[in-house]
Structure 1
Amino acid sequence: MIPAIDLKDGEAVRLYKGDYEQKTVYSYHPHKLAKEFEKMGAKYLHLVDLDGAKDAAAKNQEVIKKIRETVSMPIELGGGIRNIETVDYYLSEVGIDRVILGTAALKDPQFVKECLKKYDASRIVVGVDVKDGYVSTSGWLETSDIYYLDFIHQLEEIGVKTIVCTDISKDGTLKGPSFDLYETIKNNSNMDFVVSGGVKDNEDILEASRRGYYACIVGKAFYEGTVNLGEVIAHVG
């Protein structure tokens, strides 16, 4: 169970179905929110730089560094990480534990290979963001013609071990995860995958655990009070 903080303009926000115009601010001090998660027993933190994802640049670096300095739990970070220099900066300088590659992984497979050659596979994760069965990029503003399972198989072939898979149509909706999507991945791939998007309550997380999925990201459901984080952590870790 991995709590999520999405960063935009230095604030912790959530978008509705990836729409940058439908934004809700949940905290003006994301580092304090991260500390709250840690106190609840969270063992990992999921960070997304939404500005970076949209504009192909790391825009929340100071906030990310502040969060890193505030908590001791491991952190994974995605959004705008599209060259080896940015990977080096976050993994080697800031102390982020693993980075999530998105757009770059689809458009430049060689970049992913370069990252895997330089760092252990446990530190390089790829985000597979799915819209109507196809992979979306650039902060979900563009949809490719690559079918998501084909992309997952390509990643597996080059040595990627872990993916974060988000059904964009579910993200921020509190309507439940796309379990059919995740079962398809489970039955067609050996990679660890993180369920992301749509989680509405404790039962969704427990169901993901019962099905043997690697992990589950929780964002809006916590902020809206429909998930009891401490209770879930006590059950699944």
Structure 2
Amino acid sequence: MQIFPAIDLRGGQVVRLTQGDYDQMDIYSPDPADIARKFKAAGAKNLHVVDLDGAKDGTLANFDAIRAIVQEGGLFIEVGGGIRDEERIRQYLDLGVGRVILGTVAITNFSFLKEMVAKYKEKIAVGVDAKDGFIAINGWKEITGTKSVDFCKELVEIGVKTVIYTDISKDGELKGTNLEIYKTLSELDGLDIVASGGISFEREITALKEMGTYAAIVGKAIYTDKLDLKRVIQLAEGNA
């Protein structure tokens, strides 16, 4: 199983939100590239980057910070947050990002998603954010009537390879993740599922690995030293 430590960006700084609430924000570093270096030193091969300003207002406020992270080299980087058109997709891919994540636009403009998947293939991932089993959009502020698991099945049909699935109720709480939903998703053929939201315990890494989860994102737990990134990577790779 792959591990993707998370770097969430706001105003060029590394931050973490609780349940996506911009009013519940902790700042961890003014230097995102330095955090990337530290993650790499701990054995990370991947990185999950979210532009929180982009997610909120569609700007490219953190583009320079993301460029600096990419220029560190040696990491496969996926980026999400405010990617709503093909120009933004191209900007990130041209920068050297390995995969871009479409969130709200994947729900609100399914035909656009299909077009981008057909054109860019595995370089397009979909972020599925769910609350009580239903998809949330627009920075998690709006809950749709679309069932998250049903939507994931549709994604398989149009050729989406990677889904980052977040249980919003667990995100940033440090109380554990929703293992039950990942067990359900692991039974969908043809999708690489990335578990995201609330992963706080070593036993969860082991459980996700055993159920065949492709990857897991770790965020707040490594920033608060609840989890040790080096140890998490070893567990995920079966080397612990």
Q: TM-score range by the shorter chain?
A: over 0.9
3-state DSSP class of the match of 1:58? coil
Matches within 5 A, 1:71-150: 71-92=73-94, 94-119=95-120, 121-150=121-150
- Give the aligned residue type for 1:36: K
Conserved 8 A contact 1:34-1:71: no
Matches within 5 A, 1:20-59: 20-59=22-61
Identity %: 46
Conserved 8 A contact 1:31-1:66: yes
Map of 1:231 onto structure 2:
231
Matched residues in 2 for 1:188 and 1:67: separation?
Answer: 33
1:161 aligns with 2:161: yes
CA distances 1:32-54 after superposition (whole Å, capped 9, x unpaired): 00111011110100000111111
Map of 1:191 onto structure 2:
191
Matched residues in 2 for 1:131 and 1:171: separation?
Answer: 11
More deviation, 164-173/8-17: 8-17
Q: CA deviation at 1:188?
A: 4.2
- Give the aligned residue type for 2:96: G
Conserved 8 A contact 1:130-1:167: yes
Conserved 8 A contact 2:118-2:159: no
CA distances 1:124-183 after superposition (whole Å, capped 9, x unpaired): 100000011111111212211111112112211111011000000000001111011111
Matched residues in 1 for 2:48 and 2:223: separation?
Answer: 14
- Give the aligned residue type for 1:31: A
- Give the aligned residue type for 2:54: G
Q: Give the gaps of 5 or more residues in structure 2.
A: none
Conserved 8 A contact 1:153-1:189: no
- Give the aligned residue type for 2:202: N
Matched residues in 1 for 2:208 and 2:173: separation?
Answer: 18
Conserved 8 A contact 2:186-2:211: no
The equivalent position to 1:14 in structure 2, one of 9, 13, 16, is: 16
Map of 2:67 onto structure 1:
65
3-state DSSP class of the match of 1:169? helix
- Give the aligned residue type for 1:42: A
Conserved 8 A contact 1:12-1:25: yes
Matched residues in 2 for 1:188 and 1:211: separation?
Answer: 12
Matched residues in 1 for 2:124 and 2:109: separation?
Answer: 15
Matched residues in 2 for 1:71 and 1:23: separation?
Answer: 28
3-state DSSP class of the match of 2:169? coil
What is the aligned residue count? 235
RMSD between aligned residues: 1.2
CA distances 1:209-231 after superposition (whole Å, capped 9, x unpaired): 12211110000000010111112
- Give the aligned residue type for 1:41: G
Conserved 8 A contact 1:82-1:104: yes
Question: Normalized against structure 2, the TM-score is what?
Answer: 0.94
Q: CA deviation at 1:233?
A: 1.6
